Structure 1
């Protein structure tokens, strides 16, 4: 034993205080377990500190700025100016409020919070390197790994490289100024969301995506309204393109991009690398504990979130599946309830929403028509355009739609896709409908307030049933 080394006996130890970890800790504590929560950096993890929350704060401000500048269409005019440092300070205040609230919840529920770097030294032991060179050996009965993920790197574009001009999403949320020219490598959710926000703040934005199109995880027709908006706002989309190098030039950083039309040089003040995320499992000593990890660093778990080692659980971005905060939260609850031996504790992720907080927003849940057909269903779809929705027109947002995917034989709702304002909120109703296994007819029979964007879901159900009210012609039917 070295100087400053102590030993702790723990009932439940949770590694990582992000949305999966802190929720697991709170749920386990409320179920009567003595919980120790270990965090390397800041309570709230990536999501609350440098991810979901601060990005949505900036996106909301960018949206308001855009709407104010579009006011002439409604007979409104104003001199609108952006105080970017003040906006960043406000965003930081939002983060402090939420992380401070989480810390109070942890303390109020008796969760012991420790800070430092933890790694396994056996199937029932951890070693914690605390600040100040203190070392703690922790013997536990059960453990939950919730260490999250980090931005993936791109060869030739190291984070912090070229004098700090190559950045990840973390740095992009705390820039000191709005860059005149921003090149984004990666047209996934992070690249599109932050690209549109900075374009609205005044940056000249280019998004470079290696796949056939931006947001390749989503159906192509969902993206058409968004593509039109991005291009109308001056964002250049380079698809089927890849960055092959960069160099300092007289005009800032020069990024060399290989496109289908040939090589191009892009001048940039900053280069945001947004090519995905990697699980934080490589420094945990999981092999010492006997926990199986695949070639990409993901931990295999069963439907109770337990690994191949009894008593060790894993949740969030370290397990296979979509790296979504709300999925991590759900998994954290399952793991805590499984440890507390609660009946029925099991993960069921057939209705996990995915949202792009762009403008217009894009949201999906459940199966697409292609996925349902591949699964053997006799698929029927019903779609309602926002151009026929009164609330959408009053908002000046008629470009988008709601589409329902159902089983033509049973009438069960299998999935839904939404494009338009408030899609991130409307998808909750449709997620509940998919989770409950309701029939599309039930959605049509549910009276929706008028005028609302949510009415489009009811109208799409009417179309699915072959009883459209506010549209002519056929916007759906059984897939052939």
Structure 2
């Protein structure tokens, strides 16, 4: 029989015996006072036996979480006196509480964490970090039932040793008060004589002591951090934001919306990487390439296939026209109208409250500010390869201007990197007619995704004409002008790959230098080091977006910007921890790859129990009608539960399809809710409903259905 079930039965039997034999009648104030003389006499005759039995009974009753601990504590004072009574009860209560804590942990914690793990993540993180403070406060305040504290704490990740010693200390003062009251048992008519409102209020005040101490320590730490600087008496701004990418724009927008005086500093182009070098131009390129591919394979749709005539300069001009059409959304004029003071120039943080701006007009401006948000973004990583600097290489930042000046597309393009950027560019340029070789040092493309997704992505790129070379390490660049070659190493030796254009797309790194961070001692690693509120070592200096990590997405940068700006402006009242529980992303190859939450590989790595539900798009009516049947919807759920742990969608419009699951995960909706939602027919979004139906079919109540079948048989006579 299951050990947990045996333990649960034993506890249930103990409770049953307690109720059946009315043992609670023995643990009343009246019973204790009536038997005091007899107990006292027996103690004098057998002191060690009575003390031992009392200790064991106290431990057992506390472990079983039955009422009566207060009466037993009074009894300890009446029988053993203040000193010995306090010693016995102090250890017996802690040991019993620890047994109850361990029983709760053994019986229920795994089930509770499996069922509500995502919702309890913040609680778990808080307990792991400040569990001793929480527990000490609860132990000091008798208005919280101790048995409830024991059971609930067992469901958390607090260490058993920590639980024991904190309980020992936290309950000591209350133990002394009750034991001392027991020495005067004859004068007590009710427990309320001890636990008066005044005493409870005093305990509540004591419960605040750990947090008061924590606040004082934080204040000392702040004073130490700011000690070498002179704080301004007045401030020019409430907030200065450095960088006008997604994080900077949203931060300054929020500040202006709540009527704060805010300055946004940008040295280059408003809109940052996404508008000028990343999301917008790459998606415009992908669209042109997709149309070219559809023309080339128009026979799939009953039309005459045609070889597209690529006017490369026109393709690039369209991209720049699209950037220009979106630019007004992020322009200086728009943000000025919104109430943001926009300054074009380079910002450097001089001290925690002063920003110096080398303006593009040649002037130098200094602003004092209550708070600062660093949103400097990221830049392409350029590997240290011999000959690369002289090769005329391009990056995702520089290729748009370089290609815009060309009448024809480079025929031989080598793209270094097998991540999302490299894969998107490889497929797009191949579809536009270039001979593309994609070099990836690892053994597969899109290494953050599951193996089957990587394989599907590889097939899609190779079908577009890309030569995908995984397991190839770039060594050096040789030659000049028309005879440039990338030398790579692979299992078979070295190989030279000729190119007309070399695009480096091996990743992006946070911009960390030139902003005064190092002079102030703000720690940087791969990103600016922040706490969970996005604050640096200086509580008034925050970081958001690519410069803060851990994600490098426009939407995650905007998400962080809310936390950074709100905490910067209102943190003296309340601060909010940045929430990364539901962060979606999409790789815009064809078919698209979209994901939110855990992949299978991540679930295995983290030891999360899961089951997989799949729905292939080749069964979906709209996908069949659109000749877009490649791909699937894959949902991870806990075994037997419809709660969504993660979703991967591969297929046409996967990024849009994912939004329904993002909403469901954000608000705790399971697959049953998706199944019960009407989806328009025929749409690609029906794939989400059918995936939920696959889960439901796999968890159908077979026994109940058999009974229902018999009922219908009986109804037919």
Please report the TM-score for the alignment, with normalisation by the length of structure 2. 0.62
Mapping of residues 83-232 of structure 1, within 5 Å? 83-103=311-331, 104-156=333-385, 161-162=390-391, 164=392, 166-174=393-401, 175=403, 176=406, 177-232=408-463
Instruction: Name 1:20's counterpart in structure 2.
Output: 247
Deviations 1:101-143 (A, max 9, x none): 2224312211011011111111111221112432112211100
Matches of 2:322 and 2:567, distance apart in 1: 33
Aligned to 2:300: 73
* Alpha carbons of structure 1 residues 455 and 302: separation in structure 2 relative to 1, 3 Å: same
Question: What is the rounded CA distance, in whole Å, between the counterparts of 1:195 and 1:396 in structure 2?
Answer: 23
2:196 aligns to what?
none
Classify 1:255/1:218 alpha carbon distance in 2 versus 1 (closer, same or farther; 3 Å).
Answer: same
Q: Helix, strand or coil: the match of 1:107? A: helix
1:256 maps to 487
**Cα deviation code 1:153-202 (max 9, x no counterpart):** 1112677632x3x1111222341231100011111111100011100111
Question: Which has the greater radius of gyration?
Answer: 2
Q: TM-score, structure 1 length as denominator?
A: 0.91
Whether contact under 8 Å (1:241, 1:258) holds in the other structure is: yes
Q: CA deviation at 1:300?
A: 2.0
Counterparts of 2:493 and 2:695, CA distance in 1: 46
* 29-38 vs 403-412, which moves further: 403-412
User: Residue 611 of structure 2 contacts residue 638 of structure 2 at CA under 8 Å; is this kept in 1?
Assistant: yes
| Distance of aligned partners of 1:128 and 1:249 in 2 relative to their CA distance in 1, 3 Å threshold | closer
RMSD of the alignment, in Å? 2.1
Is residue 35 of structure 1 aligned with residue 35 of structure 2?
no
- Cα separation, partners in 2 of 1:279 and 1:462, compared to 1, 3 Å: same
Residue 610 of structure 2: which of 379, 396, 401 is its match?
A: 379
1:306 pairs with 535, 556, 559, which one? 535
Instruction: Report if the CA contact (8 A) 2:449-2:599 is conserved.
Output: no
1:294-342 deviation per Cα after TM superposition (whole angstroms, max 9, x unaligned):
2x3x112233322221111100111131211110011112212223328
Instruction: Tell me by how many angstroms 1:261 deviates.
Output: 1.6
- Aligned-pair distance for 1:344? 6.9
Distance 1:250 1:29, change over 3 A: closer
Contact kept, 8 Å, 1:123 with 1:288, in 2: the verdict is no
1-structure distance, mates of 2:442, 2:541:
37
| Relative contact order, higher structure (CA 8 A, sep 6+) | 1
- Distance in 2 (alpha carbons) for counterparts of 1:14 and 1:406: 41
Which of 391, 398, 402 matches 2:629? 398
Which structure has more strand as a fraction of its residues? Answer: 1
Question: Given the alignment of the two structures, is residue 332 of structure 1 paired with residue 558 of structure 2, yes or no?
Answer: no
Judge which range, 138-147 or 100-109, deviates more: 100-109
Q: Which runs of 5+ in 1 are unaligned?
A: 1-6, 470-480
Q: Distance in 2 between matches of 1:92 and 1:404?
A: 38
Provide closer, same or farther for how the CA distance between residues 358 and 327 of structure 1 changes in structure 2, counting only shifts above 3 A.
Answer: same
| Aligned-partner Cα distance in 1 for 2:245–2:323 | 13
Contact kept, 8 Å, 1:179 with 1:203, in 2: the verdict is: yes
Residues 224-244 of structure 1: per-residue CA shift (max 9 Å, x gap): 332222112221111111111
| Bigger share in helix | 2
TM-aligned CA distance change 1:80 to 1:375, over 3 Å: closer
Shift of the 79–236 alpha-carbon distance from structure 1 to 2, 3 Å rule, reads closer
1:433 aligns with 2:661: no
Pick the aligned partner of 1:54 from 281, 286, 291: 281
What pairs with 1:442-457 in structure 2 (closer than 5 Å)? Answer: 442-457=673-688
* 1: CA distance, partners of 2:265 / 2:541: 15
Distance 1:407 1:273, change over 3 A: same
Following the alignment from structure 1 to structure 2, what is the Cα–Cα distance between the partners of residues 388 and 415?
Answer: 22
